[in-house]
Structure 1
Amino acid sequence: MAKKKAKAVTTPATQALDALGVSYSLHEYTHDPRNTDFGRECAEQLGVDEARVFKTLVVQADGEFAVVVIPVSNKAVFKKVAAALGAKKADLAASADAERRSGYVLGGVSPFGHRQPMRIVVDESANDWPTVFVSGGRRGLDLEIAPDALLKAAGAVSASLTS
């Protein structure tokens, strides 16, 4: 899939992927500032199955910050998240910590280009699709990327993270 460059959109996520030479497509849509269900909004705006759009969550596992990437149609099972990270317990990080660690605002947290390095785990269901959609680093911008490219570029591992 070729990079679509209708507009010169640059975020830390796109910069990281470009530096690695990773192929992706950019998809912009109009974000409604009243909408806080960012992933579902993306799926609806782009006309894509919710199971193919992935949200990026910052978690704390035994005091360590990490990132999990799961379909917007599912909820994280934190026992599975903890197990995937080799931790006893995992919980969603506080919003301020998520934004500070990632460098992104909520609803725009990407699996790529974080301000501070964090381990990343992607739900294994990403492998069910030829490409998946993840945040491009701001609200209203998603990246379409092959699951193997997502894992490699993010330095991520794959695990079952949802029910």
Structure 2
Amino acid sequence: MSTKTPATQMLEKAKVAFGTREYDYNPGHEGKALQAAEAIGADPARVLKTLMVEVDGKPCCTVLAASHTLSMKRVASAFGGKSAEMMDPVKAERLTGYHTGGISPFGQRKRCPTVFDAGVMEFDTVVINGGKRGMMVVLAPADAVAVTGGKALPLIAE
């Protein structure tokens, strides 16, 4: 499997140190990020999922641990809005240029504001989708936030 994707190209261009991990993607698996964590033998708290949302109708990108659930109230607050909802998967694919199950916060077709859950910042490295189903990138969470121009704020439901 080739590891060249818009996501890895963005990381290379930004001179961010990262590694890749590949696994056999199962499209029928319910929790894609949890499947990835299990497949590569990683702690689900360190494997991050990328969820596209709309805040007051505007596209936004959220990144959080596979083992957690978004709080839409916190998402709206993090992006300075009043309400938030999950983005339709077809719209998310069109906006990002990636297929669901392979959406990365890096190298999206249309760049949008990105917020990482603050809890992921405690780790030395995290694992995030590399822009293709079955391929993940491993990097420092601070680098991930920096390269997206994002922020780290509380996003998860308590």
Structure-1-length-normalised TM-score: 0.93
Matches within 5 A, 1:4-83: 8-83=2-77
- Equivalenced residue count is 157
User: Any gaps of 5 or more consecutive residues in structure 1?
Assistant: 1-6
**Rounded Cα–Cα distance in structure 1 between residues aligned with 2:59 and 2:118:** 20
2:115 is equivalent to residue 121 of structure 1: yes
**Rounded Cα–Cα distance in structure 1 between residues aligned with 2:12 and 2:152:** 23
**Rounded Cα–Cα distance in structure 2 between residues aligned with 1:8 and 1:39:** 20
Aligned-residue offset at 1:35:
1.8
How many percent of aligned residue pairs carry the same amino acid?
A: 36
Q: Deviations over 1:53-80 (max 9, x none)?
A: 1100110000110000011101000000
- What is aligned with 1:3? none
Structure-2-length-normalised TM-score: 0.96
**Rounded Cα–Cα distance in structure 1 between residues aligned with 2:83 and 2:2:** 41
Aligned-residue offset at 1:36:
3.5
Residues 109/117 of structure 1: CA separation in 2 closer, same or farther (3 Å cut): same
Structure 1 residue ranges, 4+ long, deviating more than 4 angstroms after superposition = none
Aligned-residue offset at 1:33:
2.8
2:136 is equivalent to residue 142 of structure 1: yes
- What is aligned with 1:93? 87
RMSD between aligned alpha carbons? 1.0
